Chain A
Amino acid sequence: MNKTLLIIQREYFSRVKKKSFLLMTFLVPLLIIGMYALVIALSISGGDNVPTVEVIDDSGILIDGLKDKKTVKFHISSEPLEKAKQRVIGDDSAFLLYIPKDITTGGKPELFSQKKAGLSVISTIENQLNDQMRNKMLEDAGIDAATLDNIKPDFTVVSKELTLEGEKDTSSGAAMAVGFAAAILIYMSLFIYGIQVMRGIIEEKTSRIVEVVISSVRPFQLMMGKIIGIGLVGLTQFLLWIILSGTLMTVATNVLFKDKMEVVKSEMPATPQSAAVQSGPGTDLLKAIQTVEWTYILPAFIIFFFGGYMLYSALFAAVGSAVDSDTETQQFMLPITLPLLFTYIMSFSFIVNNPDSSLSFWLSIIPFTSPIAMMVRLPFGVPMWELGLSIVLLIVGFIFTTWVASRIYRIGILMYGKKVSFKELGKWFMYKG
C-alpha cells in the first residue's frame, strides 16, 4: 500500500477513534440545539418579572393612559408626587413616571426609581409618550390621527439580483449571516486543526518515534500524511455536525413545538389569502435562508476550508518540528496568527460593509487571507473569475507553504534540545538534501 496513505490512515483513525472526538462530535450539535431551543423558549414565554410603572400625570395629555406592554405595565395614580417618591425609596422594584404640567412647552418627563431603569422600559415609555404627544399635536392642528395612520405607507425594499437567467430574490441579511458563520467556522477550525498538526508533530518528536518512521518514509510523506489525515478528521467532524444538527433540529422542532404548529395551522383557513398571513417573522427567515445559494456556498466553504487548512497547517507543522514542547511554540505562532486575526477583524468591520471594494477584493485573493475574506464576500455575489483566481492562488499558496515547511521540517524533527530562532529556521531552509 502507498506509504502516505498508510500514514493518512493512522492519523485519521487514531483521532476519530478517540473519545474526545466522539464527545465533540455529539456535544456541539446538542449545544447548538440547546441554544436554539432556549432562544425559542425565551421568545415565547417572554421575561418573568414585568416591572410596573406608577404614572403621575399633571399635564393631562394622557387621555388614554399608557398601554401595557410585554416588558412593562403601567398604573395611573393620583397620589401627590412627594408621597409617591417616598414609596419608591422603600421599594427597589418600583418605578414612578412624572409628567409635569409644562410638558407641551418644553418640560421633561421624569422617571424615578431606586434602581436604574432598563433600556426597554425607557424606550417603551418614550415611544408611547411621543405617540400621544404627536396625536395631541395633530389633533390641535386639525388632523385626525386615525386617518393619518390609515394612509401610512409601509415599504420594505426587496433586493433582487439581475442575472442573465432573470431576476432572483436575494437577502442581504441572510447572506451576511451565512458569510459570517462560514468565516468564523473557517477561522476557528484553521486554529483547531492546525494546532492538532503541530501537537502531533511535537508528540512524534518528543516520543522519539520520528527517526524510526523517517527511516521508512520521506519526511515530506510523513508531514503530508499527517496534514491530510487531520484535515479529513476536520471534514468528518463538519459533516457529522451538519447531519446531526439537521436531524436533531428537525426532531426538536417536531416534538417541542408540535402543538404550536398545529394551532397555527388550524387558525389559518386554506385560502389563497392565507399566503399573506403566513409571512410572519419565522417564515421570512426561512425564505431568506432559502435565497442563499447553498449549492454554491457549500462547495466553496469546503474548498476554502481545506485550502486554508493546508496552507496554515503546513506552517504549524514547521513550527511543531522546530520546538521540543508546546511552551516553546509561542514566538513562532505570532506570524501565523497575525494574518488570520487581521482578516477576521477586517471581515466584520470592513468587508461585510464594502464587499466589492478593492481592499475586500485583495483580501479575498491573497492566499493567506482569502479563506476567511472570500467566505464573507461570497454570499454578496463574486464574479466567477475572482473566485477561480482566488482558488488557484490558494492552491499555489499551499504548495508554496508546504514546500517551505517541509524544508524546515526535515531538519527540525531531528534536532533535539536546541533553542531555535528565526535565523536558525532560515539556515535549515537553506540546507541541501
Chain B
Amino acid sequence: MLSIRNIVKQYANHRALDNVSIEVEKGSVFGLLGPNGAGKTSLIRIINQITAPDSGEVFLNGEKLNPTHISKIGYLPEERGLYKKMEIGEQMLYLAQLKGLNKADATKRIKYWFEKMEIESWWKKKVEDLSKGMQQKVQFVATVVHGPELIILDEPFSGFDPVNAQVITNEILELNNKGATIIFSTHRMESVEQLCDSIALLHKSKKILDGKVKDIKNLYRSNTYRIGFHGLLRTPESEMFIAVDHKTDDDITHLTVKVQEKYSANDVLNFFIPQVQVNEFMEVIPSMNDIFIQNVKN
C-alpha cells in the first residue's frame, strides 16, 4: 500500500534519513521503531507531505504521493495539540473540512465518533476546559474522522493514561479490522511488539532491519530454552547444551540453556526428565528490544 523508496533527507549538517526504503502492506499494522532521533518523525513528515525528501520517492496505492492523498491519511503527531480557545465541535469541523470533508458529512461523522468515545456532551466545551486525557480522545477523533485508509500514529501512547491507551488501542484495532492500514511509530519497542505484523527498525538515519515480526524473530532465534524444575540435578553438565543463566527461587531452579547444533529441544528435555521434576520448558524468543540492541552493536 505504502512504498517508500530510497528516501534521503538532509538538513544543514545532519542527515535525517539516509537512503531509507520501506514497504507497508495493505491492511497491516506496521511498527516504525527506533530510538529518539533515528529519523522516524522526519520520515512520517515526508509521508504526510509536510516536508519533501531531497531524493527518493513515496508511492501510495501505486501512485506517486500527491496532494489528493492528504484525505486518505490520518496523522496523530507526536507534538499534538488543539486550539485552546475554540469550541471542540467547531474545531473538529474545521480540521475535518481541512481534510476535504464537506460540512454536513463532517458533522455526521464527528457526532458518530463523539458518541463512540462517549464525549457527545463536549461539543460546546473549549479545549482549555478539558483534562489532558480528554484532549487525547479528541485528538484521536480528529485523526480518524475522515475515514483514512492509512493511519499514522507518532508515539501514540506517550502521555496516555492506561485506560485511555486501551480505549484507543481497541479503536485502532477495530479500524484495522475494517481495512485501514496502521503505522505506529515509537521508541518504546515493547509497547507495539504484540500489535504489529511487520516492523522496520531505524537507527542513526538508516534502516537497519525490516520484515514480518514473526520472520524476524525466527531469524533471531538462538536455540535457547528456559527450564524450570524442582529437585537436585545430579549430572548438571552435558554435551547437549551450554548453560547461559542460572537462578533459584522458592525451590524452583531456572536454567537457561543454549542447545548445541546436533541436538534438539526434545533431547535436552529427555536429559532432565529422569533427574528432576520439570515445571516449565520454553524457548527463549528475543524481544524487539534485544534484536535492536544486537543490531546496533553489530
> Which A residues are closer than 8 A to B by beta carbons?
1, 3, 6-7, 10, 14, 203-204, 207-209, 211-219, 410, 414, 416, 427, 431-433
Return the contact of B51 from the options A208, A213, A216, A433 (Cβ within 8 A).
A433
Q: Are A209 and B52 in contact (CB under 8 A)?
A: no
Known contacts being A1-B97, A10-B94, A414-B45, is A215 close to B50, with CB within 8 Å? yes
Chain A residue numbers with a CB within 8 Å of B67 are 218
Which residues of chain B are near A209, meaning CB under 8 Å? 80-83
> Is B147 part of the contact surface with A, judged by Cβ < 8 Å?
no
List residues 11-57 of chain B with CB under 8 A from any CB of chain A.
11-12, 45, 48-54
Binary CB contact string for chain B from 53 to 93 against chain A (1 if under 8 A, 0 otherwise): 11000000000000100100101010111111110000000
B278: chain A residues within 8 A (beta carbon): none
Find out whether the CB atom of B70 lies under 8 angstroms from the CB atom of A211.
Answer: no
Residue numbers of B with Cβ under 8 A of A are 11-12, 45, 48-54, 67, 70, 73, 75, 77, 79-86, 94-95, 97-100, 102, 139, 142
List of B residues within 8 angstroms of A214 by Cβ: 50
Q: Are B86 and A14 in contact (CB under 8 A)?
A: yes
Residues of B within 8 A of A208 (CB): 77, 79-81
B98 engages A216 (CB within 8 Å): yes
A204 to B77 Cα, complex, angstroms: 14
Contact of B50 among A6, A414, A427 (CB under 8 A): A414
Q: List chain A residues, Cβ under 8 A from B98.
A: 3, 6-7, 213, 216-217
Query: How long is the Cα–Cα vector from A219 to B102 in the complex, in angstroms?
Result: 22
Residues of A within 8 A of B85 (CB): 14
Q: Quick check: B99 and A216 within 8 Å, CB to CB? A: yes
A6 x B53 contact (CB < 8 A): no
Shortest 10 CB-CB contacts between residues of A and residues of B: A208-B81, A433-B52, A216-B98, A211-B77, A207-B81, A215-B75, A215-B48, A208-B79, A209-B81, A427-B12
Cα distance A432–B8 when bound, in Å?
Answer: 12
| Interfacial chain B residues near A217, Cβ < 8 Å | 98
B84 touches A216 (CB 8 A): no
Which residues from A are CB-within-8-Å of B12? 427, 431
Query: What are 15 residue pairs bridging A and B, where the CB atoms are less than 8 Å apart in the complex?
Result: A14-B83, A14-B85, A204-B83, A207-B84, A208-B77, A209-B83, A212-B75, A212-B77, A213-B95, A213-B98, A215-B48, A215-B77, A416-B79, A431-B12, A432-B54
Tell whether, in the assembled complex, residue A431 and residue B11 are in contact, meaning their CB atoms are under 8 Å apart: yes
Determine the chain A residues whose CB is within 8 A of the CB of B83 once the complex forms.
14, 203-204, 207, 209
The A-B contact count (CB < 8 A) is 71
CB closest residue in chain A, given B12: A427
| Further 20 A-B residue pairs, CB within 8 A, beyond A1-B102, A216-B99 | A6-B94, A6-B98, A207-B83, A207-B84, A208-B79, A208-B81, A209-B80, A209-B81, A209-B83, A211-B50, A212-B77, A212-B80, A212-B81, A215-B73, A216-B70, A219-B50, A410-B51, A414-B51, A427-B12, A431-B12
Known: A1-B97, A14-B86. A212 touches B142 (CB 8 A): yes
C-alpha spacing A34/B115, complex, angstroms: 54
What chain B residues lie within 8 Å of A416 (beta carbons)? 79
User: Which residues of the other chain, B, contact A207 by a CB distance below 8 angstroms?
Assistant: 81-84
Select one of B53, B70, B84 contacting A215, CB under 8 A. Answer: B70
Partner of B80, one of A3, A211, A219, A410: A211
In the assembled complex, the Cα of A427 lies from the Cα of B12 at a distance in Å of 7
Q: Which residue of B lies closest to A428 (CB)?
A: B12
Q: Which residue of B lies closest to A411 (CB)?
A: B51
- Which residue of chain A is the closest to B98 with respect to CB atoms? A216
Q: Using CB atoms, name the residue of chain B closest to A206.
A: B81
CA distance in complex: A410, B50 (Å): 9
Interface centre among A7, A208, A217 (most CB of B within 10 A): A208
Contacts of B94 in A (CB 8 A): 6, 10
CB closest chain-B residue, reference A1 = B97
- Closest B residue to A10 by beta carbon equals B94
Considering the chains assembled together, what is the distance between the CA atoms of A217 and B12 in angstroms? 25
Bound together, the chains give a CA A216 to CA B73 distance in angstroms of: 9
Smallest distance from the beta carbon of B249 to chain A beta carbons, Å? 46
CA distance A328 to B165 in the complex (A): 36
Chain A residue at minimum C-beta to C-beta distance from B95: A212
Q: How far is the CB of A279 from chain B (nearest CB, A)?
A: 55
A87 to B80, CA, bound (A): 81
Q: With both chains docked as a complex, state the minimum distance between the C-beta of B96 and any C-beta of chain A, in angstroms.
A: 9
Min Cβ gap A90→B in Å is 65
Query: B54–A433 contact, CB under 8 A?
Result: yes
User: Which residues does chain B contribute within 8 Å of A215, judged by CB atoms?
Assistant: 48-50, 70, 73, 75, 77
Tell me the smallest distance from the CB of B86 to a CB of chain A, in Å. Answer: 7
CB <8 Å contact, A216 and B95:
yes
**Bound CA span A212–B142, Å:** 9
CB distance from A422 to the nearest CB of B (A): 15
Expressed in whole angstroms, the Cα–Cα distance for A414 and B80 within the complex equals 11
Residues of A within 8 A of B77 (CB): 208, 211-212, 215
**Chain A nearest CB: distance from B147 CB in Å?**
14
User: Is the pair B97, A433 in contact by a Cβ cutoff of 8 Å?
Assistant: no
Among A14, A216, A414, A432: residue with most chain B CB under 10 A: A216
Task: Give the docked Cα–Cα distance between A14 and B86 (Å).
Answer: 8
Nearest A residue to B48, CB-CB: A215
Residue from B85, B94, B100 having most chain A Cβ neighbours under 10 A: B94
**Docked pose: A219 CA to B99 CA in angstroms:** 14
> Chain B residue with minimal CB distance to A208?
B81
Cβ–Cβ contact B79 & A211, under 8 A:
yes
Q: How far is the CA of A203 from the CA of B82 in the complex (A)?
A: 10
Q: What A residues does B45 contact at CB under 8 A?
A: 414
**CB-nearest residue of chain A relative to B103?**
A1
List of B residues within 8 angstroms of A432 by Cβ: 52, 54
CA distance A214 to B67 in the complex (A): 12
Measured between beta carbons, the chain B residues less than 8 angstroms from A431 are: 11-12
Q: Which of B45, B50, B84 has the most CB of A within 10 A?
A: B50
Q: Whole-angstrom distance between the alpha carbons of A7 and B102 in the complex?
A: 14
- Closest chain-B Cβ to A111's Cβ sits at a distance in Å of 63
Please tell me if the beta carbons of B99 and A433 are within 8 angstroms of each other in the complex.
no
